[in-house]
Amino acid sequence: MNLYSKIREVQDFPKAGILFRDITPLLSDGPAYKEAIEQLSRFAKDCQAQLIVGPEARGYVVGAPLAYALGIGFIPVRKRGKLPAKTVAIEYQLEYGTDVLEIHEDAIAPGQRVVVADDLLATGGTMKATVDLVQKLGGEVVGAAFLIELQELGGRNKLTGFPVKTLLQY
């Protein structure tokens, strides 16, 4: 199946000069969505993942079905103040400023093998912060999985020491 045909290009979104790669047509096509998750699940299985961790919000539409397909747990990473129990936080750089991500402090046992997952690998800032949170809890990041990679933004360079799988490269 040609997954590239399921990505919509939207000019000038969210601002002028940006070509946005929209995954919603892929998500709305059951067979295409299933194929994408199956491809990523083969990767995560090869990594011997014990948990999938994904940042909000679109990381959930990749990470949760990936965890389900493998029969393993999914751990959400959220923006500050959104998780109900004790958390561990990390501040990270955005294009213009900083943000904070959090994970429950008891979400990952030391030594657990984790694949981090999201819809898009662009600059890598959000995923690097997610990796750092997993490592703060003692988890071992054994892979990173994405639907799309925007290669010219160099995000892959921030994710070292484990394999990175992307289904579609632009």
For residue 64, the domain's CATH number is 3.40.50.2020
Structural domains in the chain (count): 1
pLDDT at 20: 95
Please report which confidence band the pLDDT of residue 94 belongs to, taking 50, 70 and 90 as the band edges. Answer: confident
Residue 93 confidence (pLDDT): 84
- With the C-alpha atoms ordered 95, 40, 37, 74, is the resulting torsion angle positive or negative? negative
Q: What is the average per-residue pLDDT within 101-128?
A: 97
**Looking at residue 96, what is its pLDDT?**
74
Count of Cβ atoms closer than 10 Å to residue 83 Cβ: 18
Whether residue 55 has a cis bond before it, omega within 30° of 0? no
pLDDT in tens, 136-156: 999 999 999 999 999 999 999
Placement of tokens 């799988």 in the chain: 165
What does pLDDT average to over the chain? 96
Q: Of 15-29, 34-48, 83-97, 148-162, which range is least confident?
A: 83-97
Task: Give Cα separations from 121 to 50, 73, 128 (angstroms).
Answer: 22, 22, 10
Q: Which domain holds residue 43?
A: 3-169
Helix, strand, coil % in the chain, rounded to nearest 5: 35, 35, 30
pTM of the model: 0.95
Q: How far apart are CA 140 and CA 90, in angstroms?
A: 17
pLDDT in tens, 25-73: 999 999 999 999 999 999 999 999 999 999 999 999 999 999 999 999 9
What pLDDT shows up at residue 145?
98
* pLDDT surpasses 90 at 169: yes
Paired residues of 144 in beta bridges: 116, 164
